[in-house]
Structure formats: structure tokens, C-alpha cells
């Protein structure tokens, strides 16, 4: 038996490690299973090279928990280690890795979120164990099995032992303050979180399986039960396969495997596969977005060689694609660095733009291959796409090929189709193309109607970021302006050269204005006299586009909007001077009656905008009943 001193300068490294990794103690299991996996993959590799005599069978990894003895064992059938290798890889290499870690990160405790991702490897076992043993026997011929033991001080023991089979068994003597890891449920939870798709089968206990009844069995025959290994992982997840091997159903069933609690089917998927200039595989899904979607759940999962790392892909995937689901697996994403560094990293930038490009290409091909189906999905994917167009210039450039602009009548135009279609009718006297849109078909019904009457198209743009979105479009496309149908009277929205003749003289108009202003709340409503068709309503409430849009942008977090104060709720009250009622108001002799008429017309205009509520509504109903009496 030999004892020795582990080669470290830091006298007692473990208390520091424990402190650093406090919130992430659980990663010890992931690290030890990763090592067991590496050792097994090495063995398989050597076997294919013909360097191993005899077969290697189907090596697996086993996890055993003994609650009474307070032990966790991680057993593999991999390459194992000789005494020299233990000296080298465990005592020197692993320790120096730990030491380097402490040196590098001792001032950055607050970054502990990423510290868990640091490959602390073997020594992370001391976060939960007061003593660790290794029993290992190398695959090399005539090698002797050895036992290594260490209690977390820089001293270790190394001696021969009588292990007969190839591989490594790690025994963790669990510390009193980590006994939660002796619970079967806890281990199952961790295996599910980190090891669900690792490439070597992992056994944790056994389970009962019911055999199917033989054909022609009696009705009351008991099905036979057998005990089988409980394999906790799927070693060949869909993303590691070739896309040509997979059918639509395979992608869907992998989605269910990834998110067992998610019952909604994904809309479509994107299989990622690159090996130059970086390595990356994965499958992304467009989920059906619903109002009650919880963005913190079922997120994209990041793996490194099939080992789960995190479901926080901030910095790796552009913001707008974080609403997608699925898996990204890349050995090339540096995990031991802070998020801000990640964003500046060249490889990561390339990965991010590759993913963006792949998503755009997929959208183009979906649109081209089956436009009808794409249109049907539009409502579910538009938020992601509009957000992408807003935030990623490259994506915006490509979006002309797939972004759709639906009308209130459910026709879907691309931008160029839209332009072509509305150009003749909706170009104003200054040669500007005016795009009319509605955000709510029911609430804006009368305005939509008035626009259609004129032969105009009205788009339905109802996503929450629409004000930002159209602002972006106006800024990028030439000579175009978006206005919501209820932001002014239709003749003012698309101004043509013709001037309507007013039935009222200027003198009469000057008389009329104060009569109306006296009745309505002036701080909220601005009176605007317009000569319109006599058939158009006498009073119309509109909300000017600019103010409303700024208000909306502020509400949905517009970057440059801060500090501009709160925009007040402001409306215009458009008076149609050519409507007979307006003439009647002007000519009414009794002041009281005149006021009543104005109030009634004003309330009706409010009613059609859904603005009449509370006491005003009650009074309106009372007044209306009196009038029809």
C-alpha cells in the first residue's frame, strides 16, 4: 500500500470548491457519469481498432444507492486505469484542473450560475462525499486492479485490490449534509435532467415488465411479469441521427420525449447539422404559441456530446428564437465563461447566425412547398417571425420571402404582393403608399367597413409588438406609411387631391366649434371639422396614429421611449359638416336642446368605439329612452 501527497499548492482545496459550487452540488453525478461514458466510448473505439482481445459485449453504466451505508456507486465497464494512470489522471491532472478553477474563479462567486458548467470533473464528487474510493482495472492485458482512497485532504492511498472485471467503480461516502442524494427520487430526477440522452445505457435499479399474453390465451389468464434492468436514458436520440432516417412522426415522438408534460404538438421542426467551421447538431421546434405559454418552461436544451448542460441558451441563440423548443448539441460552445464573454466569442456568434439562417431557410422552403399550409400556421408563428424581423437584420433581409401580411378577410399577401395589389388605390397625393391596418376586427368594424367601401384593403395586424414592427417596416421600406383604420376619417387617411365642398360656411363653422367644445371634455378630445360625404356619420372618434403608436411602443418596452413621460390618452372628435344632423345642431335655438343633441351624438360616437362606460353610459341610456318616448 502506498500513500502520497496530492500535488497541490492550495493547502485545502475542498472547502473552497464546496463554497463555489454551493448551488450546484448536484452536478457531481453528471460529471462522474460523463467520465464513465468517456471511458466506455474509449473502450468501444479501441475495440473497433482491434486493440482489444475478445468481445466487449454491451457495456453499460450502473448507478447504485445504498441508503443505510450512505453510499453511491457509479460503475462502468470502460477502459479502467492502471495504478500509473490513477497517479497521473486523478492525482495530477484532475487536481490541477480543480486548482486552476479555484485560481480563476475565486473572485467571481456571483457568477455561480456558470461555475456549475465548469468541467470540474472527478473532484466535484467531494462536494457531496466525505470520502471517495476508486476501484479500477485497466483493459490492458495483465494489469492489476487498484484501489484509491481520499478523504478530501491532499493525502491519498493507493493499493492493489482484487477487482476482477475491467472498468471503474467509484464509491462515494456521502457527507452528512448531502444525504438528500441518497434518495432514489433525487437520483432519478438528476438522471432525467442530465443524462437522459447520454450515449451509453445507464442502469438504475430494475423494474417489472408485463409480458403480452400469448395468442389464444384464456380470458382470465394472468400476464407474466419479468424483472428487467431499468435503463434511464435513450442512447440514440433523434438529433444524433441522419435527417434522412427520420420521419415526421419520429420528430414528433422525440418532442414528447423531450417535454413529457407538453401535450400540444409542435408546428414543424428544423434539423440542424454542421461540422464546419464548428460542430453542432440539434433539432428545433416551432411550438404552438398560446397566451398562457410559460417561457420559463420547456425551453431549448443545450447539450455537449449528449450531456445536458443548461436550458438557458441566452447568448447562443438569438433572442427571438429562444421562444422555440428543442435541442442544440455542440462541443464547441465554451461553457466555462461568463455570458457577456459568450456573446463576444467568435464561434458563438457564428453559431447564432447559423441557426438564424437555418430557421429563415426552413421558413422559405415551408412557404414555397405548401403555401396554404404555411398560411394556416401563420397565426401561431407570426410573433416569433415579427420579433425576428425586428431584432435581427439578417433575418429581416430574408423575411420578404416568407413574411405574410394577412387582410381582415384572411387573404395572405407577401410584402411585394401587397404593394402590387394596393398601389393603384392607396397611393396618396404625395405619392406615398398608405397601408391601412386594423388590430381588432370587431372593435374597429365601422372603420374597416368605411375603408372597404372605398375599395381599400385592410390588414389585420394584431400581435402585441405590432407598433414596433410597423415602425421598423416604415424605416426600412421606401415611401410607405402604416395607419390604423380608426386613426382618422377615411378620407384623411389616404388624402387624395380632391377637396370636398363644405355645406357650412366658414362663419358657420366658427360658430359650431365652441358649441361642441362646451359639451365634450376638451382635455381628451380635439374637435376637428371636416367636409365629408353627407352619408358618413356626423360624429366620429379617431385616435391619431402617432400618439397611439408611441403609447403602445412605450407599453411594450420600446428602447428609446424611456424618459419621454407617459403619453396621455388623446382622441380626435371628427365632425362631418356635411351631415344634416350637424346643420340641425347649429340651427337649434334652445341652448338646452342643442347641448342634448351634441351630447347624444358624442355618446353615440363613443359607443361605436367602445368608449362609453360607467355613469356616462347610464345617462346615455336614460336620455335615449326619454327621446324615444
Q: Which residues bind Mg ion (CB under 5 A)?
A: 35, 121
Shortest reach from residue 61's CB to ligand ADP, in Å: 9
The 471-510 site mask, x for binding ligand ADP (CB under 6 A), equals: ----------------------------------------
Cα–Cα dist 442/468, whole Å: 23
Measured from the CB atom, the residue of 81 and 300 that comes closer to ligand ADP is 81
Q: Interface with ligand ADP includes 90 (CB under 6 A)?
A: yes
Would the CA dihedral through 446, 451, 454, 455 be positive or negative? negative
Task: Determine, following the binding rule CB under 6 A, whether residue 282 of this chain makes contact with ligand ADP.
Answer: no
Beta strands 61-66; 2-5: pairing state: unpaired
Determine the residue with CB nearest ligand ADP: 121
DSSP H or E segment with residue 318: none
Long-range contacts of 593-596 (CB under 8 A, 24+ apart): 594/515, 595/518, 595/519, 596/623
Contacts (Cβ under 8 Å, ≥6 apart) of 49: none
Question: Counting contacts by CB under 6 A, is residue 79 touching ligand ADP?
Answer: yes
DSSP code, position 43: H
Q: How far, in Å, CA of 169 to CA of 616, rounded?
A: 80
Does 270 help bind ligand ADP (rule: CB under 6 A)? no
Q: How far is the CB of 31 from Mg ion (least distance, A)?
A: 6
Say how far apart CA 548 and CA 467 lie, in whole Å: 9
81 binds ligand ADP (CB under 6 A): yes
CA distance 209 to 224: 8
152 binds, among Mg ion, ligand ADP, none (CB under 5 to 8 A by kind): none
Q: Should residue 464 be labelled a site residue for ligand ADP when binding is judged by CB under 6 A?
A: no
Give the cell for residue 315.
Answer: 447568448
Q: What are 31's three cell numbers? A: 460529471
Is residue 430 within 8 A of residue 453, CB to CB? The reply is no
Interface segment toward ligand ADP; rule CB under 6 A; list 73-81, 392-400, 454-462, 472-480: 73-81
CB of 35 or CB of 136, closer to Mg ion: 35
Please give the grid coordinates belonging to residue 106: 475565486
**Among Mg ion, ligand ADP, none, partner that 94 touches (CB below 5 to 8 angstroms by kind):** ligand ADP
- Per DSSP, 181 falls in state G
Q: Which three cell numbers stand for residue 304?
A: 455537449
Give yes or no for residue 168 binding ligand ADP (CB under 6 A). Answer: yes
Residues 85-112 as b/e (b if ≥16 CB within 10 A, e otherwise) read bbbeebbeebbebbbebbeebeeeeeee
Of the pair 94, 270, the CB lying nearest ligand ADP is at 94
39 binds, among Mg ion, ligand ADP, none (CB under 5 to 8 A by kind): ligand ADP
| Residue 447 near residue 503, CB atoms below 8 Å | no
CB of 481 to Mg ion, least distance (A): 59
Q: Please, which residue, 73 or 509, has the CB nearer to ligand ADP? A: 73
Pick 121 or 538: Cβ nearer Mg ion: 121
**Per-residue contact flags (x/-) with ligand ADP for residues 118 to 157, judged by CB under 6 A:** -x-xx-----------------------------------
Residues 20-39 touching ligand ADP, rule: CB under 6 A, are 31, 35-36, 39
For ligand ADP, which is the closer residue by CB, 100 or 264? Answer: 100
Catalog residues that contact ligand ADP under the rule CB under 6 A: 31, 35-36, 39, 76, 78-81, 89-90, 93-94, 97, 119, 121-122, 168
Amino acid at each position: 500500500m502506498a500513500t502520497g501527497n496530492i500535488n497541490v499548492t492550495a493547502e485545502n482545496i475542498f472547502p473552497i470548491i464546496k463554497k463555489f459550487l454551493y448551488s450546484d452540488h448536484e452536478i457531481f453525478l453528471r460529471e462522474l457519469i460523463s467520465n464513465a461514458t468517456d471511458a466506455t466510448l474509449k473502450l468501444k473505439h479501441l475495440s473497433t481498432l482491434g486493440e482489444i482481445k475478445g468481445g466487449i459485449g454491451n457495456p453499460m453504466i450502473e448507478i447504485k444507492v445504498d441508503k443505510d451505508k450512505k453510499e453511491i456507486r457509479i460503475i462502468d465497464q470502460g477502459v479502467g486505469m492502471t495504478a500509473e494512470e490513477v497517479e497521473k489522471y486523478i492525482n495530477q491532472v484532475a487536481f490541477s484542473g480543480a486548482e486552476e478553477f479555484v485560481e480563476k474563479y475565486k473572485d467571481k462567486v456571483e457568477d455561480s450560475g456558470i461555475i456549475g458548467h465548469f468541467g470540474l470533473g472527478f473532484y466535484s464528487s467531494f462536494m457531496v462525499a466525505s470520502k471517495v474510493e476508486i476501484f479500477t482495472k485497466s483493459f490492458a492485458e495483465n494489469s492489476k486492479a487498484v484501489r484509491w482512497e481520499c478523504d478530501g485532504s491532499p493525502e491519498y492511498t493507493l493499493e492493489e485490490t482484487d477487482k476482477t472485471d475491467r472498468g471503474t467503480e467509484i464509491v462515494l461516502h456521502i457527507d452528512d449534509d448531502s444525504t438528500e442524494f441518497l434518495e432514489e427520487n433525487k437520483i432519478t430526477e438528476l438522471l432525467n435532467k442530465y443524462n437522459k440522452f447520454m450515449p451509453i445505457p445507464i442502469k438504475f435499479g430494475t423494474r417489472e415488465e408485463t409480458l403480452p399474453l400469448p395468442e389464444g390465451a384464456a380470458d382470465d389468464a394472468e400476464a407474466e411479469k419479468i424483472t428487467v434492468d431499468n435503463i434511464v436514458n435513450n442512447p440514440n436520440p433523434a438529433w444524433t441521427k441522419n435527417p434522412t432516417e427520420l420521419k415526421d412522426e419520429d420528430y414528433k415522438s422525440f418532442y414528447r420525449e423531450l417535454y413529457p408534460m407538453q401535450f400540444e404538438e409542435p408546428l414543424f421542426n428544423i434539423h440542424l447539422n454542421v461540422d464546419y467551421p464548428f460542430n453542432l447538431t440539434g433539432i428545433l421546434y416551432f411550438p404552438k404559441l398560446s397566451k398562457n405559454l410559460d417561457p420559463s418552461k420547456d425551453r431549448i436544451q443545450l447539450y455537449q456530446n449528449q450531456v445536458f448542460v443548461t436550458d438557458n441558451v441566452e447568448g447562443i441563440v438569438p433572442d427571438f428564437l429562444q421562444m422555440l423548443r428543442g435541442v442544440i448539441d455542440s462541443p464547441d460552445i465554451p461553457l466555462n465563461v461568463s455570458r457577456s464573454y459568450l456573446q463576444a466569442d467568435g464561434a458563438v456568434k457564428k453559431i447564432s447566425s447559423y441557426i438564424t439562417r437555418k430557421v429563415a431557410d426552413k421558413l422559405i422552403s415551408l412557404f414555397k412547398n405548401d403555401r396554404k399550409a404555411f398560411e394556416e400556421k401563420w397565426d401561431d408563428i407570426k410573433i416569433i417571425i415579427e420579433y425576428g424581423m425586428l431584432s435581427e437584420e439578417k433575418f429581416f433581409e430574408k423575411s420578404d420571402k416568407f413574411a405574410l401580411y394577412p387582410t381582415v378577410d384572411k387573404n395572405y399577401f407577401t410584402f411585394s404582393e401587397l404593394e402590387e395589389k394596393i398601389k393603384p388605390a392607396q397611393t396618396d397625393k404625395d405619392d406615398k403608399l398608405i397601408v391601412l391596418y386594423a388590430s381588432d376586427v370587431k372593435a374597429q368594424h365601422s372603420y374597416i367597413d368605411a375603408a372597404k367601401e372605398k375599395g381599400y384593403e385592410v390588414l389585420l395586424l394584431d400581435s402585441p409588438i405590432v407598433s414596433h414592427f410597423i415602425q421598423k417596416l416604415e424605416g426600412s421600406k421606401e415611401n410607405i406609411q402604416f395607419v390604423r383604420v380608426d386613426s382618422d376619417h377615411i378620407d384623411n387617411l389616404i388624402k387624395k387631391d380632391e377637396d370636398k365642398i363644405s355645406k357650412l360656411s366658414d362663419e358657420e363653422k366658427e360658430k359650431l366649434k365652441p358649441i361642441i367644445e362646451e359639451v365634450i371634455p376638451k382635455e381628451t378630445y380635439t374637435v376637428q371639422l371636416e367636409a365629408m360625404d353627407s352619408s358618413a356619420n356626423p360624429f366620429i372618434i379617431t385616435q391619431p396614429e402617432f400618439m397611439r403608436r408611441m403609447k403602445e411602443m412605450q407599453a411594450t418596452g420600446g428602447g428609446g421611449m424611456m424618459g419621454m413621460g407617459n403619453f396621455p390618452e388623446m382622441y380626435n372628435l371628427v365632425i362631418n359638416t356635411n351631415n344634416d344632423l350637424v346643420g340641425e345642431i347649429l340651427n337649434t335655438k334652445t341652448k338646452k336642446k342643442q347641448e342634448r343633441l351634441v351630447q347624444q351624438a358624442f355618446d353615440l360616437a363613443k359607443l361605436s368605439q367602445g368608449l362609453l362606460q360607467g355613469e356616462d353610459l347610464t345617462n346615455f341610456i336614460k336620455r335615449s329612452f326619454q327621446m324615444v318616448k
